[in-house]
Amino acid sequence: MTQADTVTRILDSAEQLFAEKGFAETSLRMITTRAKVNLAAVNYHFGSKKDLIQAVFARFLTPFTQKLDKELDAMVATNREPTFQDVLGVLARTMLTGVETHQRYNKLSVFMRLLGLAYTQAQGHLRRFLNENYAKTYGRFIGYLKAAHPTLSSDEIFWRIHFAIGSAVFTMSSLEVLRSMAQADTGHDASVERVMQMLIPFLSAALEQES
């Protein structure tokens, strides 16, 4: 039986529990119990709970950002004037590549949920960490969007992007609640796939409108 090592098991448990409950509501004892490691292992391998939080974000954001950077390179290499759709397509492809189809939406849920926590529960240390490590690629992405839509002001682009991120993050963050509400409301069960299929045209219409 090949057992993942202690560091990986801690990261897996922490990621799952953070996405499920948030940072403050998740204790190190919950994490180490689920990971079946000793309590002190967190402080030994990561230093502190704050460092563990940063490590959880780094594990999925660093490869994601690297992939996004390469995809953006490839985009501008073959396309001198990428459209709004082109740039958004690069983002969508980057989020989905490398993840097996059958667990694609679970991974995406965790991704979105953690992203939401970064916005709404971030203390200073996490915000600073994310800004130092990933702001550059993020700014590059926003820059291409602005270039693709010269009739809109920089402000408009920025805020529309974050309105859209808000929809996605909020929806995935409270998917369980919303699903039970939808079940009681319409009587229909909603799969993640179906919700995504409604969300994408919803956001497309909003992002690209002329004002």
Residue 123 engages DNA in binding (rule: CB under 7 A):
no
Q: How far apart are CA 59 and CA 51, in angstroms?
A: 12
- CB-CB neighbours of 145 under 10 Å: 22
Quick one: 89 or 143, whose CB is closer to a copy of itself? 143
Query: Please, what is the minimum distance in Å from the beta carbon of residue 35 to DNA?
Result: 10
The alpha helices in the chain, defined as continuous H runs, are: 6-21, 28-35, 40-46, 49-78, 84-96, 104-120, 124-148, 154-173, 175-186, 192-208
For the CA atoms of 156, 162, 165, 170, the dihedral, rounded to the nearest 10 degrees, stands at -130
65 is written with which tokens?
Answer: 């950002």
Residue 139 engages a copy of itself in binding (rule: CB under 8 A):
yes
According to CB under 7 A, which residues from 20 to 79 bind DNA? Answer: 26-30, 37-45, 48-50
Q: Which of a copy of itself, DNA, none lies near 134, with the C-beta cut-off 5 to 8 A by kind? A: none
Of the listed pieces 17-25, 40-48, 72-80, 82-90, which binds a copy of itself according to CB under 8 A?
17-25
CA atoms within 13 A on the CB side of 150: 3
Q: DSSP letter for 83, please.
A: -
Quick one: 49 or 107, whose CB is closer to DNA? 49
Q: Which of a copy of itself, DNA, none lies near 77, with the C-beta cut-off 5 to 8 A by kind? A: none
Element (H, E) at 190: none
Contacts of 110 (CB under 8 A, 6+ apart): 15, 16, 19, 60
According to CB under 8 A, which residues from 146 to 185 bind a copy of itself? Answer: 154-156, 158-160, 162-171, 173-174, 177-178, 181-182, 185
Residue 134 engages a copy of itself in binding (rule: CB under 8 A):
no
Give the binding site for a copy of itself (CB under 8 A): 22, 24-25, 116, 119-122, 127, 139, 142, 154-156, 158-160, 162-171, 173-174, 177-178, 181-182, 185-186, 188, 190, 194-195, 198-199, 201-203, 205-206, 209, 211
